[in-house]
Amino acid sequence: MRRFMTLPRSPLAPQAEGRGSRARRPTLTRLNGLLGRSARGASGLRYALFTLALFAGQLASAATIYVDNVGGDDLLDGVQPARTGGSGPVRSLRKALKICHAGDRILLANSGQPYRETISLSAAEHCGTALSPFILDGQGAVLDGTEAVPGDAWENQRGPVFRFRPPHSTYQQLFLDGKPAVERKLLPGQTRLPELEPLQWYRRGADLYFCVEADKLPRSYNLACSQRQTGITLYHVHDVLISNLVVQGFRLDGININDGVRNCEVVDVTSRGNGRSGVTVSGSSKARIEGCLIGDNGEEQILLEGVSTTIVDKCQLIANTGPAITNRGAKLITEDSGTGVRGSGARD
């Protein structure tokens, strides 16, 4: 498993714009290693020069595609961060993935408005190399899978508790003011409804229950539920780096690293409030999760399946709504003691 870079973990809140400077291509470490070989003699120097030439060629062919969901337009070319004549950022991630090439970098503007879409990396154009990975750099932007719940969609259950049935009932989540609301879970076999404090919620069957404050109704709040299925799906791609992004509110997984993925890194990402897991790695995929904050997800924070291999390094896993890691027969490597778990830990 090659390491592209090392970044510190993200805080819970989205980061301010400008952190994209951390998403550098992995030049210095690899170049220093290559140049060090020159000390072994002429053959080492020739090897280093050859590899440097190859590396320079890869970087020259890579491009940055700019995405801005407020100031962009999908009719533009994406080659500049701001509009200049007929050039400028595209508006959607989907458009960026249509016009990109292998080894490119997609750079999101942190506009303050969430990107409400689902994306899939599954083509040759979405791959990179060990020296020049395909990069999706969020710059602290939010990829959001929720939709607002209309105030008149709620029915009174009893007292301050109201009930709502979302269009999709599986793995639902409820958001308040753009962040996961506090969930009370029914224990296995429990049929009696739990007592809710104001602003808490729980799910029973296909319905969501929410407790309002005194003298308020659900329409007094900015409430949203999970609508889109998976934030980012990766399938049969290699040498991919996803960084500096908040992924939240999807019905299934924030990030699903599906079968056949090699050398994928998820770095400095916050994945929260997704219906099943923050990050799932399955099939024969090989992935590294580094410097991430993962919590408030419905069933588990990280789900490992199949014959996949996953390195978890310097992450904060908040096991408040489910175990930190559920491992169903996959290979898990915890590389650094900097990974912290708050809550119930891991289960097999």
Residues 108-138 have pLDDT tens digits of 999 999 999 999 999 999 999 999 999 999 9
Higher confidence at residue 309 or residue 43?
309
Residue (of 317, 88, 337, 336) closest to 327 by Cα position: 317
What pLDDT does 46 receive? 60
What pLDDT does 347 receive? 53
pLDDT in tens, 77-99: 999 999 998 899 999 999 999 99
Geometric angle at alpha carbon 338, from 320 and 310, rounded to 5°: 75
Question: Cβ–Cβ contacts within 10 Å for residue 191, how many?
Answer: 6
What pLDDT does 111 receive? 96
Residue (of 47, 45, 79, 67) closest to 115 by Cα position: 67
Read off the pLDDT of each residue in 165-178 and give the average, rounded to a whole number: 92
Average model confidence (pLDDT) across the chain: 85
- Between the alpha carbon of residue 75 and those of residues 67, 78, 143, the distances in Å are 12, 9, 22
Q: Is the pLDDT of residue 184 over 60?
A: yes
Higher confidence at residue 270 or residue 334?
270
The reply to whether the predicted model has a pTM over 0.95 is no
Give the tokens for residue 48: 């280093």
What pLDDT does 53 receive? 54
Q: Is the pLDDT of residue 11 over 50?
A: no
What pLDDT does 335 receive? 74
Read off the pLDDT of each residue in 331-347 and give the average, rounded to a whole number: 70
Give the tokens for residue 124: 């040759």
Confidence of residue 152 (pLDDT cuts 50, 70, 90): very high
Number of H helices, E strands in the chain: 3, 27
Read off the pLDDT of each residue in 5-19 and give the average, rounded to a whole number: 36
Spatial separation of the C-alpha atoms in residues 247 and 244, rounded to whole Å: 10
Beta strands in 165-308 (DSSP E): 174-176, 179-180, 182-183, 200-204, 207-211, 223-226, 232-234, 238-248, 253-257, 262-272, 277-281, 286-290, 293-295, 300-305
Spatial separation of the C-alpha atoms in residues 137 and 328, rounded to whole Å: 30
Instruction: Give the list of residues 6+ apart from residue 44 with CB closer than 8 angstroms, or none.
Output: 37, 38
Buried b vs exposed e over 52-73: b needs ≥16 C-beta within 10 Å? eeebeebeeebebbbbbbeebe
Indicate the range of 22-26, 100-104, 179-183 predicted with least confidence. 22-26
What pLDDT does 245 receive? 98
Spatial separation of the C-alpha atoms in residues 178 and 166, rounded to whole Å: 17
What pLDDT does 192 receive? 75
Confidence of residue 50 (pLDDT cuts 50, 70, 90): low
Q: Is the pLDDT of residue 8 over 90?
A: no
Q: Is 193 exposed, middle or buried (0-12, 13-18, 19+ CB in 10 A)?
A: middle
What pLDDT does 346 receive? 52
Note whether 289 and 261 are within 8 A (CB).
Answer: no
Indicate the range of 39-48, 150-159, 325-334 predicted with least confidence. 39-48
Note whether 285 and 262 are within 8 A (CB).
Answer: yes
Identify the three-state secondary structure at position 114: coil
Indicate the range of 23-32, 178-187, 273-282, 298-307 predicted with least confidence. 23-32
pLDDT-above-90 percentage for the chain = 71
Q: At what angle do helices 28-36 and 42-61 cross, to 10 degrees?
A: 160
Read off the pLDDT of each residue in 249-266 and give the average, rounded to a whole number: 97
Buried b vs exposed e over 300-334: b needs ≥16 C-beta within 10 Å? bbbbbbbebbbbbbbbbbbbbbbbbbbbeebebee
What pLDDT does 62 receive? 85
* Backbone CA torsion sign across 226, 317, 292, 11: positive
